[in-house]
Amino acid sequence: MLKNVFKKFILTPIAAVIAAAIPLSATLVSGCTLETDHPVVRITAEFSDKSYDLEYTLYRNMYPNTVRRFIELAAAGYYDGMIVHDYRAGQDWVSGMYSCNNGEYAEAVSTSSANDYLDLHDKESEFLKLFDEKRLSVSVYANQRFDDGDNAFVSAEEALPTLIGEFKSNIQQQIDKGALDDELGVLKMIYYSKDTEQKVYVKSTSDQTIMADYKNNAATTAFAMQVGNSTAYGDSGYCVFGKIKNLSDLQSLVTDVEEALADNTPTTVSVSGVNVDPLTDRRFSESYPNANISLVTTGNFTLPAIPIKLTVKVVSY
C-alpha cells in the first residue's frame, strides 16, 4: 500500500511536468502522435444578435493537407470574424477571405459599394504574413532540385502559399480511401480556378516529388458550408473534408437567415469582378518571371443584405 502511494506521489508531478513541457503548437506538427484522424472544429455563426455553434468532424485520414491548413488557420485566429461573402441560398455559404465590420457592411449594402467593402476587408495580407512566419505547413513548391545522387527534392525557399489539391478531379492527388460526397452539412475547401497551364511540384503521400498543375493546387483560405441538398460547385472546384455533427442547429440557422433576409430589401447584393487571391497570384508570377501569363482570377459573389459572421475554433486536434 505504501509502495503504491509512493509511486503515485512520484509519478504525478513528473507527469505534470511532461504535460507542461508539450506546447500547444506540437498538436499541429505533421506526424505528431497527438493528432487524430478526425479532429473537430466549432464554427460559431453570429446573425442578427444571435449566436449558433456548429461542430464539424474533419477527415484528416483522407485529406491531411487540407485539414492541416484549415486547423492551422483556425488556431492562428485567421478565421475569427469572417463574413459569408458568397451566399447561395439552399446550396453553399462561402467564407474565409473577408473580415466583418457591421457598420461598414450595412453602408456598403445600402450604397452599392460592396466591391469597395471587399477590397478594404480582404485578409490575404494577413494570410501571407502567417505563411511567411512559417506558421502554415507547406505543400506546393515552385520548382524542384536534384541532389548529387540525382534524386529530386523541393526547397522550402521556393514554397508557395497555395494548397495541394486533394479532390476528386485532381488525378495526381485522388483519394485512395474513398471520398466524401456532396450532402447537406459538409465542409469544403474552395479551389478558385487559375487560367494557366503552369506546373508546380507537390509531395506525394510516399514523400515523392510530383509535378502537378497549378490550377489544381491553388486553394488558400476560402471554405464553404453546404447548407442545402444541392451544390453550386463541381468537384473540380473543392475538397469535401468535414461533416457537421449537429445538423439540426445548422438547419435552424439557415431557416432564421432565410426568414430575416426575406423581410429585407434588398435580400442580397451581387458583386462582380472581385479579385481572388491577388497577392498570391503575384507571388506565383514572381516565381516564374518568364512565364508571361496573367494569373489574376476574378469572382462573382452574392452578399447577404445582413452579414453572417463566422468564427472558427479548434475543439480537438
Residues 6+ apart with CB under 8 A from 217: 139, 140, 162, 163, 164, 165, 170, 191, 200, 202
- The fraction of the chain above a pLDDT of 70, given in percent, is 85
Does position 12 have pLDDT exceeding 60, yes or no?
no
Q: What is the pLDDT of residues 41-85, one digit of tens each?
A: 999 999 999 999 999 999 998 899 999 999 999 999 999 999 999
Least confident of 38-42, 124-128, 131-135, 149-153: 149-153
Distance of CA 75 to the CA centre of its chain: 12
Sign of the torsion formed by the C-alpha atoms of 107, 113, 117 and 118: positive
Question: 135-157 in b/e burial notation, b at 16+ Cβ within 10 A?
Answer: ebbbbbbbebeeeeeeeeebeee
User: In a 10 Å sphere around its CB, with 0-12 CB exposed, 13-18 middle and 19+ buried, how is residue 246 labelled?
Assistant: middle
Computed over every residue of the chain, the mean pLDDT equals: 86
For the chain, domain boundaries: 38-316
pTM, full prediction: 0.87
Distance of CA 205 to the CA centre of its chain: 20
Average pLDDT over residues 142-166: 89
- 170, 216 contact by CB (below 8 A): yes
Banded model confidence at residue 221, pLDDT cuts 50, 70, 90: very high
* Residue indicated by cell numbers 469597395: 116
Does position 242 have pLDDT exceeding 70, yes or no?
yes
Does position 171 have pLDDT exceeding 70, yes or no?
no
Strand (E) or helix (H) holding 292: none
CATH architecture under which domain 38-316 falls: Beta Barrel (2.40)
Q: What is the pLDDT of residues 263-309, one digit of tens each?
A: 999 999 999 999 898 888 888 888 777 665 677 888 999 999 999 99
